[in-house]
Amino acid sequence: MSVYYFEIADTEPAIPCVGEELPSLASARCFALKYAGQLICEQGPQIWDGEDWVMTITDANRLTLFTILVCVTAAPSTMDFGFKGLEQRQSGSAVVPIIK
């Protein structure tokens, strides 16, 4: 069994680095994906601020083994641009805003 470290960069509030003893690199990859999903869900609205979310996985010698990078981008249709009298009409597969 080897120790793997899972470190998340630049989050508010800071998320402490976690070390896990796991049987293989494949196990570390699976753990990293599950742990990343859990942390992203816990981040709530903060994940939607447009900043990249980065988890770096290292071995016991702190050698980087792999990185998980998540970039969350809200679609324009979900954003409030502050337009008054904004309507939308369906045009093919695209939603086209119409300002009156």
Please check whether residue 27 lies inside any domain of the structure: yes
Q: Which residues pair with 6 in a beta bridge?
A: 18, 57
Residue 91 has pLDDT above 60, yes or no: no
> What domain range is 40 assigned to?
2-70
**Between residues 87 and 3, which one has the greater pLDDT?**
3
Strand ranges, E, within 1-100: 2-8, 18-22, 53-58, 64-70, 86-91, 94-99
pLDDT given at position 93: 55
User: Phi and psi of 26, rounded to 5°?
Assistant: -60, -40
Residue 61 CB neighbours (<10 A): 6
What is the rounded distance in angstroms from the CA atom of residue 51 to the CA atom of residue 70? 9
**Per-residue pLDDT tens digits for 21-74:** 999 999 999 999 999 999 988 887 777 777 788 999 999 999 999 999 998 887
Could you tell me which residue, 14 or 90, shows the higher pLDDT?
14
User: Is there a domain that residue 97 lies in?
Assistant: no
Domain count along the chain: 1
